[in-house]
Structure 1
């Protein structure tokens, strides 16, 4: 009996060691600097990992950049969770870790998250910072039309959109599960060469932990 228990512990240990090795050598780890332990400890990191993993399954040509610090004025910068450079456009993605019923309008400064225990929490509008960044991107990359730069807020599967009002064509709010097929029927507006050029330029703004 003891032999079987020791064998089981050994197998589990090998599996965990392999998982850690595989993760540490993954694109996400190299891209962000996060460790396997960070995934387990930090909810935000865990959500980021899930979003990046889902984006990697998208169809078409693309590049994924995380944790960009975009200068929007002389002494001010905005942090953006993910920039997804896809053949259909540039997508600025805000990752929301809050779970619950989501209420908000595109123009509101704050949105409301109501948890399933009837507790309400005011959170910053996840789309607000993107407006300034879109204007900056339009200047940095004049070859890309502003209509091809999108603002997305991604929530977990444990969220429900009770009242979301959006007015702009290039703005969207969705759940993680909707990301995988989000790009399937979008027209190509950016070439593979442009994606590579933009990624190279933006990579200078990435700050790892």
Structure 2
């Protein structure tokens, strides 16, 4: 019996190890991408003679009690640059109007949320938190993909820069008009520092709270959709046909543009 038991036990433990490694793989890959972008930003900041001030892992408090997480933010005399990092591999297809983008690896296709829309949400939360005092300051959206991703979109992006890490310095250099004076820059620096975590434990707790908030929102949205209600405005979801197939859209369109695609 033992001759059979131990090999089976070994295979079982090995299978558990493989499962655990796969579950951590996306986290490790994501952290590696964050690290690479952070090092690129730090190099730009270091060689800019104070022109750029960088902030990382900011949690913006929202009116509903939740938070919006910004990967990286750069403050300059030209405005604020909100940076969203995406660590996907394979071919990437997408445009500004699509709710989802597509990742293609050989014959496998995966959908993921439009990162431009995602970053626009971060920018909206940031604007609300900054308030009317800083409403005049331009905020630019930057989406950074790792080089292992191949961007296959044919459209140009008007609302965001979709780039690789090495292109960030060039994007920052495109903006030369000064809109922030030194006093305002110092004021903004102190204000943004309040969003940074003071220690690892505080950061860990904030990240946990942020993830829980997202999960709660997703559950509420899912429940509303199951009940045939629009999760944004409470309108009725009706079946419609579009250029790319059937979907359920809000009956309050065009005031509310929520839609649920069927893949």
TM-score, structure 2 length as denominator? 0.56
Question: RMSD in angstroms over aligned alpha carbons?
Answer: 2.4
Counterpart of 1:45? 31
Instruction: Tell me how far 1:149 sits from its aligned partner.
Output: 0.3
Q: Is the CA contact 2:142–2:163 (under 8 Å) kept in the aligned structure 1?
A: yes
Q: Is the CA contact 2:69–2:122 (under 8 Å) kept in the aligned structure 1?
A: no
Larger deviation, residues 132-141 vs 74-83: 132-141
Question: How many residue pairs are counted as aligned between the two chains?
Answer: 167
Q: Secondary structure at the match of 1:138?
A: helix
Map Cα deviations across residues 108-137 of structure 1 (whole Å, 9 max, x no partner). Answer: 22111112x232111121122332333343
Larger deviation, residues 139-148 vs 124-133: 139-148
Q: In structure 1, which of residues 55, 67, 85 is the aligned counterpart of residue 41 of structure 2? A: 55
Counterpart of 1:185? 174
Q: Is the CA contact 1:105–1:111 (under 8 Å) kept in the aligned structure 2?
A: yes
Larger fraction in strand: 1
Query: Over alpha carbons, which structure has the higher Rg?
Result: 2
Counterpart of 1:78? 68
TM-score, structure 1 length as denominator? 0.69
The gaps in structure 1 that reach 5 residues or longer are 1-40
Q: Secondary structure at the match of 2:171?
A: coil
Q: In structure 2, which of residues 55, 76, 99 is the aligned counterpart of residue 109 of structure 1? A: 99
The gaps in structure 2 that reach 5 residues or longer are 1-26, 198-202, 205-263
Instruction: Tell me how far 1:80 sits from its aligned partner.
Output: 1.2
Q: In structure 1, which of residues 93, 107, 114 is the aligned counterpart of residue 83 of structure 2? A: 93
Q: Is the CA contact 1:102–1:164 (under 8 Å) kept in the aligned structure 2?
A: no
